[in-house]
A = this chain, B = another copy of it.
Amino acid sequence: MALIVQKYGGTSVGTVERIGRVADKIAAQRKKGDDLVVVVSAMSGETDRLTEMAGQIHDHPPAADVDVLLSTGEQVTIALLSMALAKRECPARCYTGSQVPIRTDNAYSKARIREIGPERMRADLDEGRVVVVAGFQGVDEDGRITTLGRGGSDTTAVALAAALKADECQIYTDVDGVYTTDPRVEPRAKRLEKITFEEMLEMASLGSKVLQIRAVEFAGKYNVPLRVLSTFEDGPGTLISYEDDNVEEAVISGIAFNKDEAQITVAGIPDKPGVAYRILGPIADANIEVDVIVQNVSKDGSTDLTFTVHHRDYDTALELARKSAAELEAREVSGNTDIVKISIVGVGMHSHAGVASRMFEALANEGINILMISTSEIKVSVVVQARYLELGVRALHDAFELNKGPVSPEAPENW
């Protein structure tokens, strides 16, 4: 008998009918003997409906009021799911974030969990009840309602799993696991049985939007085994946990990519200490996040600095870079919005030589020119021209033999 925390997102509970199907799943699993704590999001569309009403009243409504408003979304879901379980004669009890309690700081609309009181949930579990909890919300020390911000329901589930020392935290979603890459780009992409927290973090931040980064960090920190699986079809999903030394690791686990970035280069900068700071400081001050940063060794007393920013920040960043370049008497500033970043990710790579060169070779064989290279312990990223996205991903998928094993299943039906 295991203690499992499950989380169902907004699409999974998007209609009364779907809530019924989720209740079927839960009731069946409860019958098998598992103790279950179920975290749910607002029904899809509900948060947007509420936000729109708020927007008609106030352009910048107070965050505390927004939290009171939005937290009703999950509260509706817990009540409906609890009724659906009652209908199936599966004893259940539902909790808002305040009721659990899930204590947070008072950073309304982006609160962080401080502490969870597991006593009431434990009492329910001991009496055989399924515990249904509203995701995304908590309560501050003043008794006011808070929300955890976007994707907060994943974090709620992981935090509850940590507090209850659950055996596993299962995130139900509309895909059946984490894939070696995006199946829309490489149809032979394959579901991973396992992936490490670190790899998942790289995959997530690089654009495989299956799980919220914060939830993965949290799970890693508290060593909560995390499983991503489909609400809509059966299957084992993908288990995210710490590296298991007993298993022979694949060299790399997956290929991520990001189409949202643009590249800015400041060339011919007279090389002296502080150049990178003089250029990137004003950009950080403007709250613009910089992703890849590459500076090569200087040549003839001058150096080139290249970095990438999100498309939406490109114009501002370019202007700031031009200003800094003028002050530094750099030769020129250029930009390119027509790029894509492709990354190979895998904890295996740090114990295998030649992973990066195998990547570069595969791209070269396809005639793909690499604009930038950036590496970390468990990933290698390259920036290439946007038109090479599909070609590059498929070439790498082949080169690292990721399409060995079962073929990817059909896309989940939309029920």
- The reply to whether B68 and A84 form a contact with Cβ atoms under 8 Å apart is no
Q: How far is the CA of A82 from the CA of B57 in the complex (A)?
A: 10
- The reply to whether A76 and B50 form a contact with Cβ atoms under 8 Å apart is yes
- The reply to whether B57 and A83 form a contact with Cβ atoms under 8 Å apart is yes
Chain B residues lying within 8 Å of A87, measured Cβ to Cβ, are 57-58, 61
Question: What is the number of residues of chain A that contact chain B, defined by CB distance less than 8 Å?
Answer: 35
Nearest neighbor of A101 in chain B, beta-carbon distance: B143
- New contact pairs (7) apart from A54-B79, A62-B83, A69-B76, CB-CB < 8 Å: A16-B56, A57-B87, A65-B79, A66-B83, A69-B83, A71-B75, A98-B98
Indicate which residue in B16, B68, B71 contacts A53 across the interface (CB closer than 8 Å): B16
Known: A16-B56, A56-B16. A76 touches B83 (CB 8 A): no
Q: How far is the CA of A57 from the CA of B61 in the complex (A)?
A: 34
Q: How far is the CA of A98 from the CA of B120 in the complex (A)?
A: 17
Taken residue by residue from 71 to 83, chain A's Cβ proximity to chain B (1 for < 8 Å, 0 otherwise) reads as 1100110111011
CB within 8 Å of B: which A50-109 residues: 50, 53-54, 56-58, 61-62, 65-66, 68-69, 71-72, 75-76, 78-80, 82-84, 86-87, 94, 96, 98-99
Indicate which residue in B20, B50, B65, B75 contacts A57 across the interface (CB closer than 8 Å): B20
- Interface pairs (12), CB distance under 8 Å: A16-B53, A54-B79, A61-B83, A61-B86, A61-B87, A62-B86, A65-B82, A65-B86, A65-B94, A66-B83, A68-B96, A99-B143
- The reply to whether A68 and B50 form a contact with Cβ atoms under 8 Å apart is no
In the complex, A310 has a CB within 8 A of chain B = no
- The reply to whether B79 and A68 form a contact with Cβ atoms under 8 Å apart is yes
Chain B residues lying within 8 Å of A165, measured Cβ to Cβ, are none
In the complex, A19 has a CB within 8 A of chain B = yes
Shortest Cβ distance from A50 into chain B, in angstroms? 7
In the complex, A144 has a CB within 8 A of chain B = yes
Shortest Cβ distance from A329 into chain B, in angstroms? 50
A-B complex: 7 closest residue pairs judged by Cβ atoms:
A69-B79, A72-B72, A68-B79, A61-B83, A58-B83, A65-B82, A16-B56
- The reply to whether A82 and B62 form a contact with Cβ atoms under 8 Å apart is yes
- The reply to whether B57 and A68 form a contact with Cβ atoms under 8 Å apart is no
Q: How far is the CA of A99 from the CA of B72 in the complex (A)?
A: 14
Chain B residues lying within 8 Å of A145, measured Cβ to Cβ, are 96
Q: How far is the CA of A101 from the CA of B267 in the complex (A)?
A: 64
Binding site for B on A (CB under 8 A): 16, 19-20, 50, 53-54, 56-58, 61-62, 65-66, 68-69, 71-72, 75-76, 78-80, 82-84, 86-87, 94, 96, 98-99, 120, 143-145
Chain B residues lying within 8 Å of A61, measured Cβ to Cβ, are 83, 86-87
Shortest Cβ distance from A102 into chain B, in angstroms? 13
Q: How far is the CA of A281 from the CA of B143 in the complex (A)?
A: 50
Indicate which residue in B16, B58, B76, B120 contacts A84 across the interface (CB closer than 8 Å): B58
Chain B residues lying within 8 Å of A54, measured Cβ to Cβ, are 79-80, 83
- The reply to whether A58 and B86 form a contact with Cβ atoms under 8 Å apart is yes
Nearest neighbor of A139 in chain B, beta-carbon distance: B99
Chain B residues lying within 8 Å of A65, measured Cβ to Cβ, are 79-80, 82-83, 86, 94
Q: How far is the CA of A19 from the CA of B69 in the complex (A)?
A: 14
Q: How far is the CA of A387 from the CA of B94 in the complex (A)?
A: 53
Shortest Cβ distance from A136 into chain B, in angstroms? 14
Which residue, of A16, A76, A87, has the highest number of chain B Cβ atoms within 10 A? A76
Nearest neighbor of A142 in chain B, beta-carbon distance: B120
Known: A58-B83, A62-B82, A87-B57. A68 touches B75 (CB 8 A): yes
Shortest Cβ distance from A104 into chain B, in angstroms? 15
